[in-house]
A and B are shown apart, each in its own frame.
Chain A
Amino acid sequence: MAAALHLLERLDRTFEGGGEGAVARKLLSFLAQHPTTTHITLQLVRQIALERSEHGDSAVVRPRTQVSPTLETDAMAVRTLQYLSAGADGVLEAKFELIEEDREDLAPYVLTDEEVREVMAAGINPISGEYDPDIKRKVVIFFAPTHEMADLLAAYVAGGGAR
């Protein structure tokens, strides 16, 4: 619990009370309520960030400007995910998967670290073993809770953190 709270406090300080801290709290709260979550995309974080509170008041996290709300929310979500997955005490880990949308029979394929290196360096498709000039376009990032996170979340919820 101390580590999670420490992480959030640091996040608040880093972003000077910006929306990132609120996004992180909402995400951690979501993960505490749904511990089966293993696949966190930018879109999921954006949805959680923009979700209205249970009390029906206005959205807790809103972009700072209305110039480009989508981009602003995206950027906020990215910064939050980067922070939560950075360093040894990160609560999320970054993973990569291969999505071949022109092959509807193929489900997204989660890449190992070695496969990611091979894809990026040599452009080799790990499923077919062949060179694919478009392969980098098909690799996308997602985040998953670290092994240690379940314990942290349990303590965080017990401490009243999941609001």
Chain B
Amino acid sequence: MPTPPAKKFEKLLSFLVDRYPFRELRALLLEHQVEAATSKAKLFEKFTELTGAAADHANEVLSMLCADLVVAGTKDVFVFDLDQEETERIAASLARIEPSASAYSPAYPLPLSESELKSRTTDHELVRKIVYPSGDIALVLCAKRSQEERVVYEYSQVTEAVKAAFEDFDEFIAVRRVDYQIFDTVTLRKSLRRLEVLIDQPSRIRMPTTSGSRCTVVLGRLSTLVDGIAPLYEANSPLNLSACVSALYHASTEGRVSQMSFRAPTGSVNRGSVAAQDLRKEKFHAGGFAAVGDVTPYDVTISWDNLVGSHGEVSLQVGMPMRALSATGGVVDHARIIDARSDAAIIAVVNKLVSYSTG
């Protein structure tokens, strides 16, 4: 295998650095016997210096991590329960489907460059079908999205020409539109009879778009390609996860609560967060809990170190508006899976959601 060019390493690393906390990425590389570094700059430098077998191995590991990230990483998940007939219908259709050539295909699992993305549209294109040994099937759909970046300049920072044109202004706001590629994924869990829609890079979504509207767009696109999806698209009723918020917090054996927002029976509104330990057992929180008897969480983030079948830390955030604590029939249609390393971690976390969704 020829030594991969430095440019390719740069692309692979940029993709990973954008989507993984650096600490996590460093640990991952070390796990795969790839030499890591203590800063992003040094990491890029180290990879460009690799040659021969070390470069080949690094290329293989980085490519694998990127491919895993496409179907995992940080995503908002919507879960749709299916009956046997629906499952078989969708499975049969997915078995037949083969993605046609797409502009996104040559670079996959990496995103297109910024200049290549400019000519793409916001319409989802089916780019890859993944068939897992378990029989589960995932479809990866790519599209372009844009984000506005704002830079504020003081009056003294702009050119004389701008000053002359805008004499009475104090500061200037420059807006730059940045395009990025999304990898939304739809996975059929045949034996578990459910469909998962995973919305990529959810933290970049801005109103009026929501994860929910993106999920609808994805299902709408798929309903023209996959038999059996149209009824799900029309009903648009993913599994209600509202019960998971309280149930996961109160299940003391489930992971570590790293962040939560809650109300106490004494009326106060509270937020707590703790790194690398369980907030439920943290002295201040536990003492407060014991004093008031119980608390009602409305937003919880839980982290697990190693879930069954998966490797590495993965977190789950599920929440609802505070006022939903007082309402009947509250609906939470999605949860956020954070830093999942692979599809195995996604299955494990969604299994938790499903099992706690009944309270």
Interface residues of A (CB under 8 A from B): 30, 33-34, 36-44, 46-48, 50, 66, 69-71, 73-75, 78, 99, 101, 107-108, 110, 137-138, 140-142
Are B325 and A43 within 8 A (Cβ)? yes
List of A residues within 8 angstroms of B358 by Cβ? 66, 69-70
Contacts A38-B265, A101-B322, A108-B322 supplied; 6 other A-B pairs, CB < 8 Å: A39-B264, A39-B267, A42-B328, A70-B240, A137-B323, A140-B323
B356 to chain A, nearest CB (A): 11
28 contacts between A and B (CB under 8 A): A30-B294, A36-B265, A36-B292, A37-B266, A39-B263, A39-B265, A39-B266, A40-B265, A41-B296, A42-B325, A43-B246, A43-B296, A43-B324, A43-B325, A46-B359, A47-B250, A48-B294, A69-B243, A69-B358, A71-B328, A75-B328, A78-B328, A99-B321, A99-B323, A110-B267, A138-B323, A141-B326, A142-B326
B293 at the interface (CB under 8 A from A): yes
B358 to chain A, nearest CB (A): 5
B327 at the interface (CB under 8 A from A): yes
A27 to chain B, nearest CB (A): 11
Q: Which of B242, B264, B293 has the most CB of A within 10 A?
A: B293
Map CB proximity to A onto B323-337 as digits: 1 under 8 Å, 0 otherwise.
111111100000000
Are A50 and B263 within 8 A (Cβ)? no
A50 to B246, CA, bound (A): 11
Residue of B292, B293, B326 near A43 (CB, 8 A) is: B326
B82 to chain A, nearest CB (A): 17
Residue of B246, B250, B329 near A71 (CB, 8 A) is: B329
Are B328 and A30 within 8 A (Cβ)? no
**If A99-B322, A101-B321 touch, does A44 touch B328 (CB 8 Å cutoff)?**
no
Are B292 and A42 within 8 A (Cβ)? no
Question: Which 5 A-B pairs rank lowest in CB-CB distance, beginning with the nearest?
Answer: A34-B293, A39-B267, A140-B326, A37-B265, A74-B328
A69 to B239, CA, bound (A): 13
B287 to chain A, nearest CB (A): 14
Interface residues of B (CB under 8 A from A): 240, 242-243, 246, 250, 263-267, 269, 291-294, 296, 298, 321-329, 358-359
Q: Which residue of A lies closest to B271 (CB)?
A: A104
A33 to B321, CA, bound (A): 29
Residue of B243, B291, B296, B324 near A44 (CB, 8 A) is: B296
A160 to chain B, nearest CB (A): 20
Are A70 and B326 within 8 A (Cβ)? no
Residue of A41, A66, A110, A137 near B325 (CB, 8 A) is: A41
A30 to B296, CA, bound (A): 14
Are B325 and A70 within 8 A (Cβ)? no
B202 to chain A, nearest CB (A): 19
Q: Which residue of B lies closest to A40 (CB)?
A: B265
A50 to B251, CA, bound (A): 12
Q: Which residue of A lies closest to B297 (CB)?
A: A43
Are B322 and A36 within 8 A (Cβ)? no
Are B296 and A47 within 8 A (Cβ)? yes
List of A residues within 8 angstroms of B325 by Cβ? 41-44, 140
List of B residues within 8 angstroms of A99 by Cβ? 321-323
B338 to chain A, nearest CB (A): 21
Are A74 and B326 within 8 A (Cβ)? no
List of A residues within 8 angstroms of B266 by Cβ? 36-39
Q: Which residue of B lies closest to A108 (CB)?
A: B269
A101 to B323, CA, bound (A): 8
Are B359 and A70 within 8 A (Cβ)? yes
A42 to B266, CA, bound (A): 14
**If A36-B292, A38-B267 touch, does A70 touch B323 (CB 8 Å cutoff)?**
no
Q: Which of A41, A71, A78 has the most CB of B within 10 A?
A: A41
List of B residues within 8 angstroms of A47 by Cβ? 246, 250, 294, 296
